[in-house]
């Protein structure tokens, strides 16, 4: 067996509409499908610009509220300009929880929190930086 592609990552959320609003209105992701599974889970698939992988949000109210442990999971997104990103976050009253920080390679990043406490990292990479 050989895995050929990452398709999506699932995250369980407490409030689907609030979480969709965050990813859509703050980060610019697009909802491409909303459905309900046979067991009653509410699902939403979000597309990320310039990426084939999806984020799957899952709300299953019968399982209770979501509690995300600190520093357990985060999503990282590339942004073109971190200074512009900071201004946009401030305009939307989104708190920066860590950073901005500059790495030895010249990348700059910061963290914000999504609903339920999932961390989101926003990274500006230097021009012509390649990732292997």
Average pLDDT over residues 79-101: 95
CA dist., res. 120 & res. 22, Å (int): 11
Q: Which CATH number is 40's domain given?
A: 3.10.180.10
Tell whether 4 and 58 lie within a shared domain.
yes
State the pairing for strand pair 108-113/8-12.
unpaired
Quick: pLDDT tens for 24-60.
999 999 999 999 999 889 999 999 998 999 999 999 9
Max CA pair span of the chain: 49
pLDDT of residue 67: 85
Question: In the chain, which ranges are E strands?
Answer: 8-12, 30-36, 42-47, 54-59, 74-78, 96-102, 108-113, 119-124
Beta bridge partners of 44: 34, 57
CA dist., res. 116 & res. 8, Å (int): 19
Quick: pLDDT tens for 2-23.
878 888 999 999 999 999 999 9
Quick: pLDDT tens for 56-76.
999 998 888 888 887 778 899
Tell whether 58 and 101 lie within a shared domain.
no
pLDDT of residue 81: 93
pLDDT of residue 96: 97
Average pLDDT over residues 80-98: 95
Count of structural domains within the chain: 2
The whole domain housing 86 covers 67-132
Tell whether 7 and 50 lie within a shared domain.
yes
Evaluate if residue 132 carries a pLDDT over 80: no
Kindly report the pTM of this predicted structure.
0.87
Tell whether 100 and 116 lie within a shared domain.
yes
pLDDT of residue 73: 81
């Amino acid at each position: 067996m050989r895995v050929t592609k990452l398709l999506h990552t699932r995250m369980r959320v407490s409030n689907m509409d609030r979480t969709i609003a965050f990813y859509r209105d703050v980060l610019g992701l697009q909802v491409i499908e909303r459905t309900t599974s046979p067991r009653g889970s509410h699902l939403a698939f979000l597309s990320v610009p310039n990426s084939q992988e999806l984020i799957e949000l899952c709300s299953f109210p019968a399982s209770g509220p979501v509690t995300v442990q600190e520093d357990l999971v985060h999503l990282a997104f590339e942004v073109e300009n971190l200074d512009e990103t900071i201004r946009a976050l401030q305009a939307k009253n989104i708190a920066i929880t860590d950073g901005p920080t500059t790495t030895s390679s010249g990348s700059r990043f910061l963290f914000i929190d999504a609903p339920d406490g999932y961390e989101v990292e926003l990274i500006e990479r230097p021009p012509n930086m390649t990732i292997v």
